[in-house]
Structure 1
Amino acid sequence: MAQRTVDEQSPPTGVATQTARRRSFAVISHPDAGKSTLTEALALHARAISEAGHVHGKSGRRHTVSDWMDMEQARGISITSASLQLMYRDTVINLVDTPGHADFSEDTYRVLAAVDSAVMLVDAAKGLEAQTMKLFAVCKHRGIPITTVINKWDRPGREALELMDEITERTGLTPTPLTWPVGIAGDFRGVLDRRTGQYVRFTATAGGASIAPEEVMDPEVAATREGEAWETAAEESELLAAAGAEHDQETFLAGISTPVLFAAAVRNFGVHALLDVLVDLAPPPGPRPAVDGGARAVEDPFSAFVFKMQAGMDTAHRDRLAFARVCSGVFERGMVVTSARTGKPFATKYAQQAFGRDRSVVDEAYPGDVVGLVNAASLQVGDTLYLDKPVEFPPLPTFAPEHFATVRAKDAGRYKQFRRGIAQLEAEGVVQVLRSGLRGDQAPVLAAVGPMQFEVAQHRMASEFNAPVELEPLGYSLALRTTGQWAERLTAERDVEVLRRESGELLALFPGQWRVRSVQRTHPDVVLEPLVAA
């Protein structure tokens, strides 16, 4: 589907004014908590699409618009980051959906560097799971305000008050529910809006394919209509009030409290309220910290940073799209900007907004927007782009890989396609590629945070580059940074190998920590440093 540029309808002018009407956020959670379903529900409520289908549908059902890769549709999980731009109440909402599998944590961490707030999606039955907690820690480290959505309340689950206690105990945040469920988990009738005291009653639609009608009632009518379910919700809401669980904007922005909403994304229940919260409470883009310790104000000349590279989104054109978050100034299609890494110019003649797999030309963009730069062969993940006034933003995190495999082309006659494909996947950050003179370019080592990254790499090499590959797992599980002076001595050690990243950084690979300790006993002065995500 074609997506209009968001500013078609005579928008306000001026960078500060345009920035104030932007909201950029990511959805974080454990796999299968409903991120992609929520993403599509938000698009539906913002009227960017006319009908929703969910990923786990049977044959013939629609897939979510953000899950465009065929592997995603087949498996029912998100393995790429999808950028969607929506209009709601004259506010431009930039939603970056994150990979739904823990093996793609590195991609998710990069996305979190490109947004101003996050929505933490929690399964009503499972509570806070491992991946949710890992991503929460990143948000906390980066000072990203978090709105919490308790999802799947239409299914049997835990008690609402119990979930609030868990949020407090495990995250240290004070939950301040804005809505409270009427009906236990599995019997979701609606919510008590704690800001107004009114009852918002939901009505299901066929398959959740259209916006669920909402009926607003006064407490007296709600009590008559819902009886004990309403009384229970009202009593629990009073308990929350007595405990001081009321929204405070200052503590929310400071990362001390988290507004909480209850929803069932697959039925489109409670989604409208989330859009309102994003508009009313989530922060707009602000000054961006730079490497030199200063900050790039939103009114400064144009600047942006690349947080994602993606190829294969358009099967008709083997192009390469760089997703760049605008940090300051006005982006104008056709402008020539400078790459801080190379010092070379980059022409933005072809600039697009992505709506899942679909694209439209974008002529202007403002701080908080995500722009897709086409044919960006000279750009890399983490690059800073600027106009006039130089700036460089901090580098994006690189994770320590834990899985390693040698990759070879199945058909030696397709070596040119093999090299091009491997270089493309490396530039996108799908996998890390490690090399050495001993192994040569015909058999580099792929390094990954999780094994599913290998599956994606193998699938894309065959389907996009027509260069099927075979992988040979290696017995390493740990990579540590070392220096050139130690490379030869470490390579001489049994079960140890030193390989080089594209950046020139040297990594020493070990089968486990026990082997590291053994080498350190033999070479007490050896340089071995952990790779830590920023």
Structure 2
Amino acid sequence: MFASSLCSRRKLKFSHIARLRFRLFSSTTPAHNAHVDLKKIRNIGISAHIDSGKTTLTERILFYTGRISEMHEVKGKDQVGATMDSMELERQRGITIQSAATYTIWKDHNINIIDTPGHVDFTVEVERALRVLDGAILVLCAVGGVQSQTLTVNRQMKRYSVPCLAFINKLDRMGANPDRVISQIRSKLGHNAAPLHLPIGLEGETKGIVDVIQRKALYFEGPHGNLVREDEIPQDLRTLAEDRRQELIEHVSNADEILGEMFLEEKTPSEADIKAAIRRTCLARSFTPVLLGTALKNKGVQPLLDAVLEYLPCPSDVQNYAINNNSTNEGEEPEKVFLNPARNGDNPFVSLAFKLEAGKFGQLTYLRCYQGMLKKGDTIYNVRTRKKVRIPRLVRLHADQMEDVSEVYAGDIFALFGVDCASGDTFVTDLKLNLTLESIHVPDTVVSMSISPNNTKDRDNFSKAIARFTKEDPTFQFSYDADNKETLVSGMGELHLEIYAQRMEREYNCPVTLGKPKVSFRETLQGPCTFDYLHKKQSGGQGQYARVIGVIEPLPPHQNTQIIFKDETSGPNIPKQYIPGVKKGFMEMCQKGLLSGHKLSGVCFRLQDGAHHIVDSSELAFYLAAHGAVKQVFEEGNWQILEPIMMVEVAVPEEYQGPIIGLITKRHGIITGLEGNNQWATIFAEVPLNEMFGFVSELRSSTQGKGEYSMEYSRYSPAIPEVQEKLIQEYQQAQEGGSSQTQKKKKN
């Protein structure tokens, strides 16, 4: 009646009425019921290589679950943009820069979703999201397949033992080949994977998918694909569907004992048997279900949501633990305390702060509750700082919007205002617990650039922006180079630093100038070198006396980014209270090498013997002795410079393959692989980061703007002689210039 009255009064078309009714339905936000069954909660992340369709997929999920009333495109052509890309820069560039959290309901299940960036420069956003999530959807492009950032995301999922589903997206694209992508998932990612779906047509002929478990064809009809129609499998696909079903059973049987026994006994498993086995193996990360679809064309999203409920873990399926700091003694393995995710509120509250963001009302801290409950008005403690804070407001997030809640329970992802903390801090309601959750892995920065505000009047805003961004993003670092008298910012790539420079101008009205990128080179030893250094100083009163004997040696190539200090002394020659002084002195010398001014890495300082004086020895004396020992090894040892090597993946039309290989070779790159697919070539190479600056402009001009590339850090490797000589020469000139300026000042 409501619809008919609207139609008579306003003469609206039926589609407009349907949209209005839908909007009225979806405007009610999902209920936050504290007593939701733990089995009906899913915390998932959506991760993939750049431009695989993560944000588009999230937009469809929110639409089909009734969370939003209209779908918008990532590029923001309609001046709106995708819901999860709330930052203006994200909508302009068509990329995700910050991970965004939301929540929705599908078939009475609460689903918390974090949409993460795909670009390697923002990899820490993926890292911290996966740290707190129970499961993930790994999105792959049906044309691109397994790409460089897919490998990185896969490693991150493995690091945190996150079970995942694979979703092969973009079946409608020219050159789509899901079979090739599945073989890459098996060979490149090392997954025991098999498809649950079969495509009904590809590219422009994509009509739907076949569910091989249920033996049904699924068609997605209606203006937005929201009507899922089940039908019989097309005649020409029935044999293939049965073959794929058998292939699926074989792959799952290899990982699941129960289904394996049925397979050996030649019993025919039921639909429920197969689904139960897939869930068990998916939770154990021994099998990866592969689903198909095209988010942009609204096909395959609802079956993916069903698979999230059926196969990915709920909070009680994941065993989370904290470290008991009260039981940790030096040299002993810390005691692990397993957390209880029950939503009854009987257990002490334990949560992890995994992301910081400057919001409209102060610092917004994203947390995941692992145990117990928290109410508005409660007091919590930061285990690291031992500070307490009262919680005036609790919110749940939907991109840049938020909803106030009165309480949160184990398994919930929520946010707080006004909490002073760092990313990775643990919060509890009872400090006696003294529990610490495992922190978040933060990769080392690889690029540095000088930065300065264009106008000296903007220095206050510049300081505020730097303070905020370095706190929010641990891979964005700020430092001052005393030798070159310039401020430096370091990050994961040129784009990373560019984005922050643009955000300073937009958000703080502080235009800045970025200097030439500086690569984080390292210095290391080529062979072991012994040292025997005596630090002795007598100038009336108590003197200084310390002698250190040992060897500094290079670490194996796979450890060439580490610095290790080993105390191998025995006996009373160096009292144990002076060892920290030696270690501190060595670590400080590692911050700036004497060959080119870059950090030392890949070296091990083995302290074997020494001597002390009963009166004149002190921790300071041994600290200075370690300085002298490193200088002695620098003069006597053979040193070399290491540079970061990037794994580069370039996709170009086949006719440009030769020139691009020449372009990579000219930049001292090594081609590691070639792939051809439907008139497109993918070139895999390892190239020094120092040679990659300006590559994008050359690539675009050489391919008429059709080529694209991505890169990620691979390892550190010895620099070529020309690069090493140039760096040493530049450093020496800078040192001479600095000393001459100092002498002039003294004369004046």
TM-score with structure 2 length normalisation?
Answer: 0.61
- When residues 33 and 328 of structure 1 are mapped into structure 2, their CA distance, relative to the original with a 3 A threshold, is same
CA deviations on 1:402-459 (whole Å, 9 max, x unpaired) are 100222222222322222211110110164324358379x954211112211122112
CA distance, structure 2, for counterparts of residue 279 and residue 36 of structure 1: 20
Deviation for aligned residue 1:491: 3.6
- The answer on whether the counterparts of 1:124 and 1:185 sit within 8 Å (CA) in structure 2 is no
The equivalences for 1:433-444 within 5 A come to: 433-436=477-480, 438=482, 443-444=486-487
Instruction: From the superposition, tell whether residues 204 and 149 of structure 1 become closer, same or farther in structure 2 (CA, over 3 Å).
Output: farther
* Partners of 1:364 and 1:495 in 2: CA distance: 55
Within 2, Cα distance between the matches of 1:135 and 1:33? Answer: 13
Aligned length: 491
Instruction: Specify the alignment match of 2:67 in structure 1.
Output: 48
Matches within 5 A, 1:350-429: 350-376=393-419, 378-388=420-430, 389-429=433-473
Distance 1:252 1:404 in 2: 41
Counterpart of 1:24 (choices 36, 39, 43) is 43
Aligned to 1:120: 138
Alpha-carbon distance in structure 2 between the residues aligned to 1:374 and 1:120: 31
TM-superposition CA deviations, 1:57-99 (whole Å, max 9, x none): 53x2531100011110001010100001111122110100101
- Residue 597 of structure 2 is matched in structure 1 by 496
- Evaluate the alpha carbon distance shift between residue 337 and residue 186 of structure 1 in structure 2; reply closer, same or farther with a 3 A threshold: same
CA distance in 1, matches of 2:34, 2:443: 41
> 1:468 maps to what in 2?
511
Matches within 5 A, 1:14-413: 18-58=37-77, 60-203=78-221, 205=223, 210-217=224-231, 219=232, 222-223=233-234, 227-228=235-236, 230-231=237-238, 233-234=240-241, 236-238=243-245, 240-241=247-248, 243-244=250-251, 248-285=278-315, 286-292=318-324, 293-299=336-342, 300-312=347-359, 317=360, 319-376=362-419, 378-388=420-430, 389-413=433-457
Deviation at 1:351, TM superposition (A): 2.2
Counterpart Cα distance in 2 of 1:161 and 1:435:
49
Question: Could you tell me how far apart the structure 2 residues matched to 1:459 and 1:318 are?
Answer: 22
Q: Deviations over 1:199-239 (max 9, x none)?
A: 1112363xxxx34322111x3xx43xxx53x3465255255
Note closer, same or farther for the CA distance 1:520–1:198 as it changes in structure 2 (3 Å cut): farther
- Checking the alignment, whether the CA contact within 8 Å between 1:22 and 1:367 is kept in structure 2 is no
SS at match of 1:455: helix
- CA deviation vs aligned residue, 1:154-177 (integer Å, no higher than 9, x gap): 223343333322221122222232
Instruction: Write out per-residue CA displacement over residues 472-493 of structure 1, whole angstroms, 9 at most, x where no aligned residue.
Output: 2353324666674243586462
Q: Which has the larger radius of gyration?
A: 2
Single out whichever of 277-286 and 143-152 deviates more from structure 2.
277-286
Q: Provide Cα deviations, 1:355-400, integer angstroms capped at 9, x if missing partner.
A: 1111121222222322121233x11111111112432111211111
**CA shift digits 1:292-338 (9 cap, x unpaired):** 422222243211111111125xxxx3622111111111122222110
The verdict on how the C-alpha distance between 1:322 and 1:202 changes in structure 2, with shifts beyond 3 A counting, is: same
Q: Which has the higher contact order (CA 8 A, sep 6+)?
A: 1
Q: 1:290 is matched by which residue type in structure 2?
A: A
**Matches of 1:436 and 1:104, distance apart in 2:** 23
Indicate how the Cα distance of structure 1 residues 291 and 409 shifts in structure 2: closer, same or farther if over 3 A, else same: farther
- Are 2:292 and 2:300, in contact at CA under 8 Å, matched by a contact in 1? yes
C-alpha distance in structure 1 between counterparts of 2:503 and 2:53, whole Å: 25
* 8 Å CA contact 2:481, 2:488 repeated in 1: no
Matched to 2:244, the amino acid is S
Do the aligned partners of 2:142 and 2:170 also contact (CA within 8 Å) in 1?
yes
Instruction: Supply the distance in 2 between the matched residues of 1:158 and 1:128 (Cα, whole angstroms).
Output: 13
Which secondary structure state, in structure 2, belongs to the residue aligned with residue 401 of structure 1?
coil
Shift in alpha-carbon separation, 1:524–1:277, aligned structure 2, 3 A: farther
Identity %: 24
Question: Any stretches of 5+ residues in structure 1 without a counterpart?
Answer: 500-517
Q: In angstroms, what is the RMSD of aligned CA positions?
A: 3.2
For the Cα contact (< 8 Å) 2:278–2:311, is it kept in 1?
no
Q: What letter corresponds to residue 219 of structure 2 in structure 1?
A: R
Query: CA contact under 8 A between 1:192 and 1:233: conserved in structure 2?
Result: no
Q: Which residue of 2 aligns with 1:457?
A: 500
Distance (whole Å) between structure 1 residues aligned to residue 248 and residue 96 of structure 2: 38
Q: Structure 1 length normalisation: TM-score?
A: 0.84
Mean alpha-carbon deviation: is it higher for 354-363 or for 177-186?
Answer: 177-186
Structure 2 unaligned regions, length at least 5: 1-22, 253-273, 325-335, 523-560, 564-582, 601-630, 645-712, 715-748
Q: Contact 2:44 / 2:134 at 8 angstroms: preserved in 1?
A: yes
